[in-house]
Structure 1
């Protein structure tokens, strides 16, 4: 059997497994006696491109072996600390989003292209930190800002997603919020108003840390990995494509509700 390497974002970990992505996503989301059920966000990792990253890879095949009854080894944790920053962006070959009932959507990396739309952005940082931020910056600019080593507060690499703001993206006072499933919409409006009044201010923190799972149905345009050298995009398919080609995953994502 093949041995796969995965970078999990929630929690942050490098994991070896004998399970292919769809089966690993089902295992990781549904859980076991040791793990509660919940959605999963993880990447396939090119082993050759992390050979010099300091991970214990030499004996992976010797440790990641089938059980005595023939069942494949589901997970072997190789690292759980400062993993994302040690994995080059080009080593992440695919993103996998697993719903809490184990449906997996796989997304290939693409070069980031700004959509050119003038709007306020809502970002959920996923790893290694988890604040929720409103920003004037587009995803590439935001990644550059967060990983800028000239700033006192920065991270080496950041995984984040842009969430939908609906009608609030250009008007914090719009009466129709279109059922945005975020906690304390009043506070979100206040943050958007404050940012709008300060064009020289890049970002405003909405939540200091993530209080729930990222609702996949609120992802506006994909998941991003950025650092001081650039950004890699994993764009979510269009609504039409999701309904035509990934309906089971999309229905599962829509059935998950937040606060």
Structure 2
């Protein structure tokens, strides 16, 4: 049985497993006697594109072996600290989103394409930090800004998703919020007003993600970026989700978070 390498974002960790992505997502979300259940967001990695000195791959292979009765090894934690910055973007093969009942949606990496729409953006950062921010910058610009080492506050690499703002994307005072499921809409409006007033290109809405990921609020997809560029993992369209990934989509819609 081959050994797979996964980069988990919740929490950040490099995990080796003999399970295929869908089975690993089910195991990681549903849990076991040792851990509670919950959502999982993780990348499958191309180990051939990992720098040889970044992780002890030989040691990982030695530990990730079948059980005496032949059952596959479900997980071996290889690293839990500053993992993302040691994994090149080109090593990220696919993103896997597991709901809390173990339904897994797999998204392949693709080239980032700016949609050209002039709007305010709402970003949820996932790794290595977890604030939720509004920004005038598009995803590529935001990734460059937040990883710029000349800035007093920056990170080496960032994973984030763009969330929907509905009618607030161009008008913070719009009365129809179309059932946006975010806490404290008044505070979100205030942040959007401050952003529109000028100054910093970003404004923090929440200091740290709380609760579960509301997959249904993701506007377009997840992004991984740094000063060298950005990789995009675009969600299927609503029509594609309903036609081709209905079980995952129904599970995602039943999640209540923040």
Which TM-score band (shorter chain)? over 0.9
Instruction: Tell me, yes or no, if the aligned pair for 1:40 and 1:97 is still in contact at 8 Å.
Output: yes
Report the Cα distance in structure 2 between the residues aligned to 1:55 and 1:213, rounded to whole angstroms.
30
CA distance 1:178–1:17, change in 2 (3 Å): same
Mapped partners of 1:26, 1:56: distance in 2 = 26
- 1:187-226 matches, within 5 Å, as 187-198=187-198, 200-226=199-225
Q: What TM-score does the superposition give when structure 2 sets the normalisation length?
A: 0.98
Q: Partners in 2 of 1:142 and 1:33 — Cα distance?
A: 40
After superposition, the C-alpha distances for 1:182-237 in whole angstroms (9 at most, x for unaligned) are: 11111001101111111x42000101111122211111110000011000000011
1:141-180 pair list within 5 angstroms: 141-180=141-180
**Aligned-residue CA RMSD (Å):** 0.9
The Cα of 1:179 is off from its aligned counterpart by 1.3
- Contact 2:110/2:231 (<8 A) preserved: yes
> What is the distance in 1 between the residues matched to 2:84 and 2:126?
11
Number of the residue aligned with 1:18: 18
SS for the counterpart of 2:22 is helix
Gaps of 5+ in 2: none
CA contact (8 A) 2:212 2:256 kept: no
The separation in 2 between residues aligned to 1:126 and 1:213, in whole angstroms, is: 12
Q: Answer yes or no: is the 8 Å Cα contact 1:135–1:195 preserved in 2.
A: yes
Cα distance in structure 1, aligned partners of 2:210 and 2:95: 22
* Deviations, residues 8-35 of structure 1 (Å, cap 9, x unaligned): 0010000000000000000000011221
CA distance, structure 2, for counterparts of residue 236 and residue 256 of structure 1:
17
1:174 Cα offset (Å): 1.1
Gaps of 5+ in 1: none
Matched length:
258
TM-score, normalised by the number of residues in structure 1: 0.97
Residue 53 of structure 1: how far off its partner (Å): 4.2
